[in-house]
Structure 1
């Protein structure tokens, strides 16, 4: 089981690929580019063979990148599966989670695919030593650190496998009874849970864009609100003579007003010369 993460570290980007038990498969200090991720995936396929799963923060996007690359056919033939890491996956939209999150996929067990985050967090301890070091010593200390990481993981391998096995058995023992009771109470079978996931994914795909009827209804309500606001702001103008009368009536009203204004003017006396 692989976990491919790309993370910024001091002067370079570290691409770290791991196998299931936390061992570092290979580590690259690279400039950020998609081709290095493709090289890592190609290496995993060459060494590990078919039916591999790779965890990636943006597996939904990297799947398209791999499919469009020169190793796309190779990845498809070897049935490569790309999965979003458990922690990062919850930042994706729900439809993406249904398709790519390990919580909804079979074959991943209790693996969260976040081992790279643990490795990068541990590598922070080397920062005080290499912060002002030359590039040679910078790489030297990091190589020493990751070599020590692999040694420690190898020593703890048996304990790691045992603890995971015990944890899996506890989960099965604790929840199997409750699950069976729920299935009997609701008259469900195992296939129903998978069907619900597929139905939810299909529904979310259909509501990705708003229906035309809803769009028209919302636009109509918005225009009504604009009309109400306009009537409130310009209400005094609506009561004016030019908006309330027909064109002929407007002319008559204007003539009457003009005539009445003339009668109110004082008489002017022009002196004789």
Structure 2
């Protein structure tokens, strides 16, 4: 440990860590090194910090997209730093010696506790990873056999179906509004004095809204046949609510991706 009073998180610390790991484990061992500004060299940016980096950096160095990282988020040091905040209240007015003494005691206790728990931690993570792989593989195999699809199709079909249902609902709302406006056409002509282009626009929207509803209905029916759905997912059904929630999250992530991509373009330019 060292106290970076003036330098901040410079690359020399990451290089020193990499040098130590190579000397301990040897150059033949493949090691993933997480460092907050690791995008400067070939290593992994910790998961939490990665989301503050630009999109290009994330695609290259975020652990989510790096093969071999598994469930590791590379934020172990951050958890230690968070726990060490408890030292502040007891050492703020102490001498330098007693401050260092408290820090050393805290670090020693942390190291011993982590060493004791490390075996169980690795074992539980390994079991959890195997369970995720096993359950996911069985579910995908069943879907592939029943639907004659590949893994890439599953979520895209369901999201497309929900989007189609929502589009059908929106077109239905627009169609009802157009019908109401068309029913009031005589009143609008006599009482409001509309003419020409305004009358034509109301008639055009009345006819066009019917066609859009028919097209949306046909799209939904086509998807229901492809997904082999016996009944349509109604607005209040559990399936609809679950997938609508997933779709909302998906749209949020897409918006976040677009924002990060835009920031990346500005960064690269």
- Calculate the TM-score normalised by the size of structure 2: 0.49
Considering Cα pairs closer than 8 Å and 6+ residues apart, tell me whether 1 or 2 has the greater RCO.
Answer: 2
> TM-score by structure 1 length?
0.49
The structure carrying a bigger strand percent of its residues is 1
